[in-house]
Each structure stands twice: as structure tokens, then as C-alpha cells.
Chain A
């Protein structure tokens, strides 16, 4: 199971970075979303996927899933959710102001 998940995380990383290197702003935003999802999956894989019971507090259970990676992922998902919405608004406004969503044309010059 871990191996499949590692491969999936790797594919997500690759797809994310490919999209990040595009010129269109929307694709870059999608790239960051895919990349952060890859990172979340990666955390889950690193904390071992299945080790018996869920991490609910009950006496006498020794084989429970590790709750820490899940807490980390939850925090990280909230953060990346906020960042994605910010980035979408930001790129919409930037595209509107500069009349282009092409990163090549958003380079800027020295005369400003």
C-alpha cells in the first residue's frame, strides 16, 4: 500500500511541477494545488498508512494508527486551501490590471 501511495505522490509532484513551469497563470495555480496535495499524501505515507485500529482513545489498544501525520495534514490542508483562494484572486486581479495572464509578459522592465 505504501509503495502505491509513494508512486501516486511522485506522479502528483511531477504533474504539479510541470504545471508550475507553464506560462499561463491559471495553470500555475493548478500546479501549486496538485503539488500541495502531493505533499499531503506524502506526509500520510511517511506516517505508515495502516497499523490496526483508528486513533481513538480506548484502553487496551496497542495497535492504533499514528494520529500525528493526520493532524499535520489537516493543518496543512487548511493552509493550502486559504493560499489557493488567495492566489486565485491575486492572479485574476493581476491578469485584469496587466491585460495578460502570460508570465513571459509579466516580467517587467527597468524603467519603472
Chain B
């Protein structure tokens, strides 16, 4: 059954290529995309179930044995994230027809959408560092196309910066792979882990590790490398922003988790201490950014940054509880960020502006959307019993257990700022007198609300049903703390 590992990559890839042939027949493509997305999610759910029951699935592509060929490793962390990706894709594909103009849909939106999912799933599943670079490029290429889709003035202007930053970090990534290859003589992650263990991680490896961390930190938008993120994320269509916010930064965080729980683990005094510092700064600066603006989309885009800070904080603390917290928070944050961007897009679409100063009293016309925003704010800030709380609680517990009190307090305080920044949207935009100037197209409003409700329902489920999901996350962090499990699953017998 090892072919299961490739299915989450192949299905979106083939779907994207197929839909490219029919791009002029918009109604057909819409329905086909919905169908294919449901299928892809179903398969991802099955792969998740299979891995949960039977343990890690590895596929040696083309029959080349592990250290020589490219391996795909579907361990529990990877398949969980692939499943989350597909759930978000499902919500986005149902939201897209109402939010995009037909012209944008014709210009291969669905093709690039599926290619983005291909790249993200591939990056989660690959067990080879150079292949990780290739899948990064696949998803970045799709994202370049999506961010410029429509070709507006502001889109073109911001996308150049986005492309250049990502291009530069990709070049640094290739250079780092070359460094690692010259030192370790392999690009297979499991074999790298073995060899680092043999030499007990000398200084040069720590240096390469930090270089690699900065590559992933650029992708994940950590302090001080987050400056490129907020503006480009506000210019494309809300569906595209939602996909970017949910998936792209998380691929960076996933890569950090993978490299720093598998390969560079023998000398944690420098690297993991650095992570804690960077996480602290990321939390503070991201929260300040979110408070600094009146643009709904920009507020939410800035909120991506402290969330990434929390995840990296869990990696920096590096014990089992904190890692479980990071993974739990990552899953919940992927879903809630997609929901928030779709929500902001819906508000901007209905009202016609994303400036908070130009709207008020929307709750009278859009009650469901208002309360969904209210719940999302609670999820994001980590108010119990929602899912953000459980992730943060575990990170904090891990922090206290390791005596990292200062960072935990910074985390708690920045949570308050995050709550305030989102509540600002609720209080200023939704509260107050009814604004008679705003007319609402009921049908579109409903169609835009349901995908958001679907995603918020999932985060609420993740919070209330924590009993049910906790064993999975516990098993993930167990696998992360014991890299031998990963290595053994790649080099069977």
C-alpha cells in the first residue's frame, strides 16, 4: 500500500492539468473543480486514516532504494497537514465562484489552485531536502500566478516584491543544500539525520542549520524577515489570500519542525535558544502591526505573523508538550486564518471597501457573518474552549516546565493584543447603528458565508472535541521527539 503516499500529490496535479483544457467552459469547470476537490479530500482522509492505523507509509519513487532515490514519507504529521490543506481547499473552491469575476476564473484560476495544493502536499510529504526545494518552487510558481491573477496596478506592484523575496530565499536555499551536501554527502533527510548523529553535530553543521532556518524563516515570515508579507497578501482576491495565509507560511513552519526535530537536534543550545528569542520578537512586532491599521484585510494579514511566532516558540522550547502544542496550534491556525481571510473578503465584497472607518452596524444585515467573526476572534486569541486555547495552553505548559517564563508571559500579553485587534473589526464594523447606505445582495452574501461557517465549525470542533484529537497530536509529537521512528521507516529492514 505504499503507493498511497503519492495520491495526495497526483490527484490535484492531474485535476489541475485536466481543468486547464476546459478553461473556457466556466460552469463545467466550477462543478468539476468542486467534485475533484471533494475527491481529493476524501483520499487525503483515507490516507490519514491508513497512516493512523498502520504507521508511516514510505514510497521509494521509481523503485530506487531509500538513500539514492527520492522518497516520499507519509508520517502522521505530514498526512494530518495534507488533510487540513485539503479541507481548506474544499472551502475555498466553494467560495471562489461568488468572489472571483468570470474572467479570472477563465484565466486558469482552478488550474493554479490545484497546482498550489499539489506543491503544498508535496512539500509536506517529501523525505528529501532537494525535493523539498522543488516542491517549494512548484507552490511558489502557482502562487506567483495566483497573486497576479487579474493584473491590477496594485497587484503587479506588490507581486514584484513578493516574487523577488521568494526568489532570493530560494537561491539561498539551493546554496544551503549545496553546503549540506558537501558536508554530509546526502540530501535524504533520514540519512542526513543518521550522519549528523555520527559526528555529534559540529560547529559547521550548526551554522548550516541556522542558514537553513533563515531560509524557512523567510518563507514563514518570522521576525525580522516578515516585512514582505502583509501588503502582498492583501492585494489578490480573498480566496487567493486565504489559501496563501493558510498554507504558504505553514509550509515554512513545517520545514522548520522537520529539520529541527530530525536533523539538527544534537546541539540545541544555540539554535533552539535563538528560536525562542525570534519567536518573542515575532509575537510583539506582529501584534503591533495588527494594531497599526484600519484596513480589515491588513489587520488579518498582520495576524499571520504572531501565529507563526507561537508555533516557532513551541519548537524552540522543544519538549513533548510544547511540540504537541505547536502542531495543534498550527492545524487550528491554518483553518482559522483561511476562515478569517474569506470572512474579510466577504465583508469587503458586500460593503465594497475594506476600510473600517467606512462601515458600521453590519450586524443588522449580516448577523451570521458577525457572530462567525466573533468566534474566530476568540479562536485566534485562544479563549477557552476554542481550539487556539488548547494549542497555546500546551505551548505554555511546555514553556513553564522548561523554565522559559519570560517568553510565556510575552505570549500571553500578545494574545491580548491579538484579541483586541480582531475585536476592533467586530466593534467598529459590526456594532452600532444600522447603516442605511449599504445594500446587500442576499444570495451572494449567503453563498460567501457558508464556506466560512464550514471552516469555523471545524475549529470549534477541534476545540470542543479536543479529547478526540489529542491522542493524534500526542502521537505526532511522540514521533517528532523520537527521530529513530522516522529514520527506521525510511530504511526499512
Given contacts A46-B179, A68-B181, contact A98 B157 (CB under 8 A): yes
Q: Does B154 contact A (CB under 8 A)?
A: yes
For residue A28, give the distance in angstroms from its CB to the closest CB of chain B: 7
Q: Is B187 touching A68 in the complex (CB atoms < 8 A)?
A: yes
Q: Is B160 touching A91 in the complex (CB atoms < 8 A)?
A: yes
If over half of B's interface residues share one DSSP class (helix, strand or loop), that class is named, otherwise mixed; here it is helix
- With the chains together, A100 CA to B315 CA distance in Å? 44
Over the window 75-94 of chain A, the binary record of Cβ atoms lying under 8 Å from chain B Cβ atoms (1 yes, 0 no) is 11001001100110011011
Given contacts A90-B148, A90-B159, A98-B157, contact A72 B167 (CB under 8 A): no
For residue B297, give the distance in angstroms from its CB to the closest CB of chain A: 11
Q: Does B177 contact A (CB under 8 A)?
A: yes
Q: Which of A20, A40, A76, A94 contacts B156 (CB 8 A)?
A: A94
For residue B195, give the distance in angstroms from its CB to the closest CB of chain A: 15
Over the window 76-114 of chain B, the binary record of Cβ atoms lying under 8 Å from chain A Cβ atoms (1 yes, 0 no) is 000000000000000000000000000000000000000
Restricting to B336-378, which residues have a CB under 8 Å from any CB of A? none
Band of interface residues on B? 20 to 34
Complex contacts, A108 vs chain B, CB 8 Å: 154, 157-158, 231
Complex contacts, A106 vs chain B, CB 8 Å: 157, 160
Given contacts A32-B168, A35-B171, A36-B171, contact A72 B177 (CB under 8 A): yes
Q: Does B153 contact A (CB under 8 A)?
A: yes
Closest residue on chain A to residue B134 by CB atoms: A75
Q: Does B137 contact A (CB under 8 A)?
A: yes
Over the window 381-395 of chain B, the binary record of Cβ atoms lying under 8 Å from chain A Cβ atoms (1 yes, 0 no) is 000000000000000
Given contacts A35-B168, A82-B141, contact A93 B156 (CB under 8 A): yes
Q: Does B174 contact A (CB under 8 A)?
A: yes
Q: Is A46 touching B181 in the complex (CB atoms < 8 A)?
A: yes
- With the chains together, A79 CA to B175 CA distance in Å? 14
Closest residue on chain A to residue B145 by CB atoms: A86
Closest residue on chain B to residue A44 by CB atoms: B178
- With the chains together, A98 CA to B152 CA distance in Å? 10
Give the most central of B134, B152, B164, B187: most A CB within 10 Å.
Answer: B164
Q: Does A26 contact B (CB under 8 A)?
A: no
Closest residue on chain A to residue B180 by CB atoms: A46
Give the most central of A39, A86, A110: most B CB within 10 Å.
Answer: A39
- With the chains together, A32 CA to B172 CA distance in Å? 11
Q: Is B144 touching A42 in the complex (CB atoms < 8 A)?
A: no
Complex contacts, A75 vs chain B, CB 8 Å: 130, 134
For residue A33, give the distance in angstroms from its CB to the closest CB of chain B: 10
Q: Does A104 contact B (CB under 8 A)?
A: no
For residue A40, give the distance in angstroms from its CB to the closest CB of chain B: 8
- With the chains together, A31 CA to B461 CA distance in Å? 49
Restricting to A14-36, which residues have a CB under 8 Å from any CB of B? 20, 25, 28, 32, 35-36
Give the most central of B133, B148, B159, B167: most A CB within 10 Å.
Answer: B167
For residue A98, give the distance in angstroms from its CB to the closest CB of chain B: 6
Closest residue on chain A to residue B136 by CB atoms: A79
Given contacts A39-B175, A39-B178, A43-B174, contact A28 B164 (CB under 8 A): yes
- With the chains together, A36 CA to B175 CA distance in Å? 9
- With the chains together, A4 CA to B163 CA distance in Å? 32
- With the chains together, A103 CA to B58 CA distance in Å? 47
For residue B213, give the distance in angstroms from its CB to the closest CB of chain A: 18
Q: Is A97 touching B153 in the complex (CB atoms < 8 A)?
A: yes
Q: Does B182 contact A (CB under 8 A)?
A: yes
Q: Is A72 touching B130 in the complex (CB atoms < 8 A)?
A: yes
Given contacts A35-B168, A36-B171, A79-B137, contact A94 B178 (CB under 8 A): no
Q: Does B471 contact A (CB under 8 A)?
A: no
Q: Does B224 contact A (CB under 8 A)?
A: no
- With the chains together, A86 CA to B177 CA distance in Å? 24
Q: Which of B151, B160, B178 contacts A43 (CB 8 A)?
A: B178
Complex contacts, A98 vs chain B, CB 8 Å: 153, 156-157
Complex contacts, A110 vs chain B, CB 8 Å: 293
Given contacts A46-B181, A69-B178, A87-B163, contact A97 B137 (CB under 8 A): no
Q: Which 4 A-B pairs have the closest CB atoms?
A: A46-B182, A94-B156, A43-B178, A46-B178
> Can you list 15 A-B contacts (CB < 8 A)?
A20-B164, A32-B164, A32-B167, A36-B171, A39-B171, A39-B174, A43-B175, A43-B177, A43-B181, A46-B179, A69-B178, A69-B181, A72-B181, A75-B130, A97-B157
9 additional A-B pairs beyond A43-B177, A76-B174, beta carbons within 8 Å, are A47-B178, A68-B187, A72-B177, A75-B134, A87-B167, A93-B148, A93-B151, A98-B156, A112-B154
